[in-house]
Structure 1
Amino acid sequence: FTSIVGNVFGFKALRALRLEDLRIPPSYVKTFQGPPHGIQVERDKLNKYGRSLLGCTIKPKLGLSAKNYGRAVYECLRGGLDFTKDDENVNSQPFMRWRDRFLFVAEALYKAQAETGEIKGHYLNATAGHCDEMIKRAQCAKELGMPIVMHDYLTGGFTANTSLAYFCRDNSLLLHIHRAMHAVIDRQKIHGMHFRVLAKALRLSGGDHLHSGTVVGKLEGEREVTLGFVDIMRDDFIEKDRSRGVYF
């Protein structure tokens, strides 16, 4: 990215510049490890096949104590969800420190598993101010027996994300990626870069699944284009289709 979207975007001679897509040579792709595990390993861990996995983000996003947060997680998982998830704003605030949240969520998860006979999960946000703290939180999740952690890959940075992806691969943790801050980069139609470029970069950096937007609800996004870059991340091969934003 230093070369492709570096100083050229700041040249005075250019009023605006936008990167819509890029083709990454296979030889370069092979220098990255990519996702820590992938779709099949996740299904094996959960012992769930032949259907979509259903989850939700715990709301309200801020203000709950760790105990009440754990209670909400339990009720969602006991009610039939496969996963629950930390909101990206949930980190380690005075009303709910990260370690307390991890402990109450683990208790809720194990209780729901015992009562339903199903394997459950919760995306614990490991995003932190520096890499050492991030890895410490991921290590805590592992020691609690949690199956998955979460990272904000744009606010955390690509180096931090790749470091966490390596840790997750080595320690049998799944890695969910949130895209907080993406709209600052990709929403302007004449300047910046399209999210499909950020998605490809994340695919190289590492993440088992990426929050890639929705074609309904509160977030902007064109249906066909969104489904196009979802297929790019998921499928081994995809035909070029400009109507879906698949240029290469």
Structure 2
Amino acid sequence: MLDLLLPPDCPACHQPVDRAGLLCPDCFRGMSFIADPCCARCGQPFAAAIPGGAGRVCAPCLDTPPPWQSGRAALVYDERSRALVLRLKYADRIDLAPLLAGHMARAGRALLAQADLLVPVPLHRARLFRRRYNQAGLLAAAIGRIAHLPVLPDALVRVRRTQALARLGAGARHDVLQGAIVARASRRDDLAGRRIVLVDDVMTTGATLGACARAVMAAGAASVNVLVAARAPDPARSNRDGWRPPVG
């Protein structure tokens, strides 16, 4: 009856679909899903002609290894995926979380199979108050239901409000986030000895996820991997061999 009153439509283009939460065939074909070969550390897709180095790790991750073991992303952060992420993040389209989470769960199947706990990247309380929800927390909760994994949404806390990171490079982001994210004191025992998967919407330079990874490791986590909806190349790295820019 609800489908008769409110026919399900594609969340990207609003064309009719068979079931709520599905992309229409045209939008699905237009999405740039990330599959092998891609960097095992940060999830950035390699150019088709470049198979990757030892363990298929990109040159930037070989030069400066991130503070986590493995990372995967479901989508290239391009025009189509950006529209979905931004609607989830800023336009109250929380219905998009299960859609993105389904693709994340498939991309990160191997990481989730070894995980004990999902931890979303936190928002500062002021930003959370304005937005009313944490998009990373919604993604983590949806992935948890798919993978049957517990989620600890308040494991990490931003103890200092930071400036917007969108226009900053990797080094500047790292400096801004230094000491800004820590494990909540009451959750340190829950993190100790656990295999953690950090969840976020987009990875660009990896600075935010790196700050979170260092925080959970400082709390005694056994290991930490990362899983994101979309992977955007750091502009400073995008011209390096083995990196492919977003499509669109």
Q: Larger C-alpha radius of gyration, 1 or 2? A: 1
TM-score (norm 1): 0.33
TM-score (norm 2): 0.33
